[in-house]
């Protein structure tokens, strides 16, 4: 069984080979199964096979044909392995031959992971077009910014046309309103032509509620575990073999058929698997097989809230082999340092001392007691390289999960926004920007859905209000179902050419270019990182080194000028960047050079970068 299932034809779904369509459906609960041709209404009987599979080879399906399945003479259902839902989550599925796209990226080589400068975006709100073509129209802008990897929030088919994407219910299907599977292939191809890698956000811990027909087919879910968002995926309970293969093949499809360069797997701490081989490790093994076969490099990135290096350690060291992970703790420490509220999960963080620890140790909590969790938490990540950690000052979660969806542009001063950017882009980790932060976009990024089920839409609306009931003094939570909430979350593309927005954009461009240029910033050598904080001054000195070049970053998070001493070395320190320079609308530039051990005045809410060459 495993040998058969490891082939592309082994997974559930429909594949086209010449004039023949091969159908393979996993429906172990069914006593009979038919495929219904949407145009003619004809029903074709499927043949029962081992392990709950049903199969058929037919010449009555071709690229573009619509179809549904009928199990035990019940109502027609869409295909759980559908790659296209042109009429939405409740409509018929569409046959799509993913091999017909004429790729032009034969010479493409994935960007080395340690070189990634990531830009997270949401397809629906990134441009007014709200689709993949809209993203493609902005690729030159992203290249000029210095971005070489975009991370696209989930595109798996969801209800309606407005959703963050984490309520997707067809993991293989590309959202029809975004451009469908052919549109995504076109976007990836275009990105590669511009030198941009594509990271796709995927969700393997749950499936959304509306349009979720998986329970009609088989044992996709388990009651052994719970997630905050719905039934847990069955990765280790009875009937899990086909479920594991379903999701493994989904990973391989994105890499093989869409040429996606990396996946970011959402909240893998909610992926429960106590079998002998964790599903993430098996995914890694299968991806390694694909890489060996094609010669194309692909990365697996995870969001994980456990501070557990087992997820990112190599498989030969009893790890799952994930290539990198998001580090929320860096964000939390930075946000408190910048003056953010210490509420909720931020209550665990004390600001600048924690930020200095994250620069040095990646995890802030690596074995000590966490008041928020009321237990000891985390392990040390001493031996994990810098490329295994992704840091940011904003992302979709940290902005959109606020009641009002305020960005840093609304919460912090212009100078502090620049300082936060400097804190991220000088870190010995992979930096990630959230769309619009590079020009201080004022539009909020709010939570939005467009469920077509009125009861479900109302439940989401009431749930959102209840979640923020304690924050009533700040006003009402925006209606997540209202189209206005979605429209008001879109980027305003007239702004990057105006006033302070243009200044901020040029600031980001210069800072990203400097990170790429200076070896001491570009190389992620964690063994030569030193971070020291002065909590009373609210200052931090970060030291980085690569071979002979040393860089020192002087950060002042206070509202007063602070005098900081450069390392006492024989060499002269030469200024490379000054966020307080008047060209960035700052108050005053520092001197261009200083001797080792010399004290340098650092303007309020600003930073300086020096090197010793």
Task: Give CA 296 to chain center in angstroms.
Answer: 21
Residues in CB range of 159: below 8 A, 6 or more apart: 88, 89, 167, 169, 208, 210, 211, 449, 450, 451, 452, 453
Q: Please give the biggest Cα pair distance in the chain.
A: 84
The answer to the question of whether 398 is labelled as a binding residue is yes
Is residue 303 annotated as a catalytic residue, yes or no?
A: yes
Answer for the pair 151, 118: CB distance below 8 angstroms, yes or no: yes
What gap in Å lies between CA 260 and CA 199, rounded to an integer? 7
Residue 107 sits at the vertex; the CA angle it makes with 105 and 109, to the nearest 5 degrees, is 95
**Helix, strand, or coil here: 551?**
strand
What gap in Å lies between CA 169 and CA 449, rounded to an integer? 14
Answer for the pair 322, 263: CB distance below 8 angstroms, yes or no: no
Sheet with 530-534: list strands edge to edge.
530-534, 539-546, 549-556, 606-611, 572-578, 593-595
- Dihedral of CA 515/200/437/347: which sign? negative
The answer to the question of whether 330 is labelled as a binding residue is yes
Neighbours of 474 (CB within 10 A): 12
Q: Which two tokens stand for residue 231?
A: 């039934």
Answer for the pair 372, 345: CB distance below 8 angstroms, yes or no: yes
Closest CA to 345 of 327, 372, 365, 366: 372
The answer to the question of whether 396 is labelled as a binding residue is yes
The answer to the question of whether 397 is labelled as a binding residue is yes
What gap in Å lies between CA 373 and CA 585, rounded to an integer? 42
**Helix, strand, or coil here: 608?**
strand
Q: Which of 210, 249, 261, 303 is catalytic?
A: 303
- Dihedral of CA 72/73/76/79: which sign? positive
- Residue located via tokens 């091999």: 99
Sheet with 93-94: list strands edge to edge.
43-45, 33-37, 66-71, 93-94
The answer to the question of whether 329 is labelled as a binding residue is yes
**Helix, strand, or coil here: 387?**
helix
Closest CA to 120 of 452, 424, 516, 383: 424
The answer to the question of whether 267 is labelled as a binding residue is yes
Q: How far is CA 596 from CA 150, 558, 568, 599, 606, in A?
A: 40, 24, 4, 9, 21
Answer for the pair 436, 504: CB distance below 8 angstroms, yes or no: no
What gap in Å lies between CA 296 and CA 232, rounded to an integer? 32
Helices (DSSP H) in 146-236: which residue ranges? 180-193, 214-217
Q: Which of 94, 120, 237, 266 is catalytic?
A: 266
The answer to the question of whether 331 is labelled as a binding residue is yes
The answer to the question of whether 515 is labelled as a binding residue is no
Three-state secondary structure string covering 478-527: CCCCCHHHHHCCCCCCCHHHCHHHHHHHHHHHHHHHHHHHCHHHHCCCHH
The answer to the question of whether 59 is labelled as a binding residue is no
The answer to the question of whether 264 is labelled as a binding residue is yes
Q: Which two tokens stand for residue 223?
A: 């009651």
Give the annotated binding-site residues for substrate: 264-269, 328-332, 396-401
Give the annotated binding-site residues: 264-269, 328-332, 396-401
* Residues belonging to the active site: 266, 303
């Amino acid at each position: 069984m495993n040998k058969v299932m490891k082939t592309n034809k082994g997974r559930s779904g429909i594949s086209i080979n010449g004039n023949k369509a091969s159908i393979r459906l996993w429906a172990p609960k069914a006593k009979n199964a038919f495929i219904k041709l949407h145009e003619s209404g004809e029903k074709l009987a499927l043949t029962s096979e081992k392990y709950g599979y049903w199969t058929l080879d037919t010449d009555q399906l071709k690229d573009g044909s619509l179809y549904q399945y009928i199990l035990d003479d019940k109502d027609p259902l869409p295909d759980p392995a559908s790659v296209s839902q042109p009429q939405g989550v409740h409509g018929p599925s569409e046959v799509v031959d993913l091999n017909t796209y004429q790729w032009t990226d034969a010479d493409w080589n994935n960007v080395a992971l340690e070189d990634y400068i990531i830009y997270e975006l949401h397809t629906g709100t990134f441009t007014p077009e709200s689709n993949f073509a809209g993203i493609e129209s902005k690729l030159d802008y992203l290249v000029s910014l210095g971005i070489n990897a975009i991370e696209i929030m989930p595109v798996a088919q969801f209800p309606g046309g407005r959703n963050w994407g984490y309520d997707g219910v067809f993991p293989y299907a590309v959202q029809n309103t975004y451009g469908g599977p052919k549109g995504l292939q076109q976007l990836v191809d275009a990105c590669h032509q511009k030198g941009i890698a594509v990271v796709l956000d995927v969700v393997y811990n749950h499936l959304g509620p509306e349009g979720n027909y998986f329970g009609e087919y088989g044992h996709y879910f388990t009651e052994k575990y719970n997630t905050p968002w719905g039934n847990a995926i069955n990765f280790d309970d009875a009937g899990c073999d086909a479920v594991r293969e379903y999701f493994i093949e989904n990973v391989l499809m994105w890499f093989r058929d869409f040429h996606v360069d990396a996946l970011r797997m959402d909240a893998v701490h909610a992926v429960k698997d106590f079998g002998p081989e964790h599903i993430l490790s098996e995914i890694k093994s299968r991806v390694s097989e694909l890489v060996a076969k094609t010669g194309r490099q692909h990365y697996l990135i995870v969001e994980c809230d456990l501070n557990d290096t087992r997820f990112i350690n190599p498989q030969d060291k009893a790890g799952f082999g994930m290539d990198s992970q998001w580090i929320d703790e860096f964000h939390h420490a930075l946000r408190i340092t910048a003056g953010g509220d210490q509420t909720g999960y931020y209550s665990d963080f004390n600001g600048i001392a924690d930020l200095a620890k994250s620069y040095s140790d990646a995890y802030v909590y690596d074995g000590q007691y966490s008041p928020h969790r009321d237990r000891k938490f985390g392990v040390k990540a001493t031996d994990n390289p810098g490329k295994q950690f992704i840091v940011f000052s904003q992302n979709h979660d940290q902005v959109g999960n606020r009641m009002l969806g305020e960005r840093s542009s609304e919460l912090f001063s212009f100078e502090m926004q620049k300082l936060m950017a400097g804190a991220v882009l000088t870190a010995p980790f992979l930096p990630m920007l959230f769309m619009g932060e590079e020009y201080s976009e004022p539009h909020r990024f709010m939570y939005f859905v467009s469920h077509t089920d009125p009861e479900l839409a109302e439940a989401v609306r009431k749930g959102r209000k209840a979640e923020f009931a304690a924050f009533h003094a700040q006003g009402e939570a925006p209606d997540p179902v209202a189209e206005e909430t979605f429209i008001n979350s879109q980027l305003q593309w007239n702004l990057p050419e105006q006033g302070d927005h243009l200044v901020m954009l040029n600031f980001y461009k210069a800072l990203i270019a400097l990170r790429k240029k200076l070896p001491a910033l570009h190389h992620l050598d964690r063994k030569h990182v030193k971070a020291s904080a002065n909590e009373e001054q609210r200052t931090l000195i970060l030291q980085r080194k690569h071979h002979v070049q040393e860089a020192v970053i002087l950060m002042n998070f206070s509202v007063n000028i602070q005098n900081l001493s450069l390392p006492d070395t024989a060499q002269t320190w030469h200024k490379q960047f000054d966020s307080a320079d008047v060209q960035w609308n700052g108050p005053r530039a520092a001197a261009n050079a200083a001797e080792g051990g010399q004290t340098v005045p650092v303007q309020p809410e600003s930073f300086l970068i020096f090197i010793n060459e």
